[in-house]
Amino acid sequence: MNFEHAARQAYIDLDAALIAAAFEEVDATPMEGFDPAKLDEILRMRERGLRTVAIVPLGYRADAGEPEEGAPPARAVRHRGSVS
């Protein structure tokens, strides 16, 4: 299959993932502007015949407002569980 065509089709699934996250009250946002080759290397995507097109971070909002401007990441992000 043509990669460019498949990459555009991936956005259909991306929309479904964003809708599912919203339904579960999980915050999500699509991201581009990352280094897909580096991410493919880290996740060993090419070994499985796959390539990265977009990424979607998922998470929950902090209970008490927005983090202070310039707050270190440890104070700006709270983890509710581990990623496996």
Number of domains making up the chain:
1
Name the one residue in this structure whose structure tokens are 């919203």. Answer: 22
Domain that holds residue 19: 3-76
Rounded to two decimals, what is the model's pTM? Answer: 0.59
pLDDT of residue 23 exceeding 70: yes
Alpha helices of the chain — where are they, by DSSP H? 3-23, 36-43, 73-76
Per DSSP, 19 falls in state: H
In a domain, 40, yes or no: yes
Q: What is the pLDDT of residues 28-76, one digit of tens each?
A: 988 878 899 999 999 999 999 889 888 999 988 776 666 666 666 555 4
Distance CA 65, CA 63 (A): 6
In a domain, 9, yes or no: yes
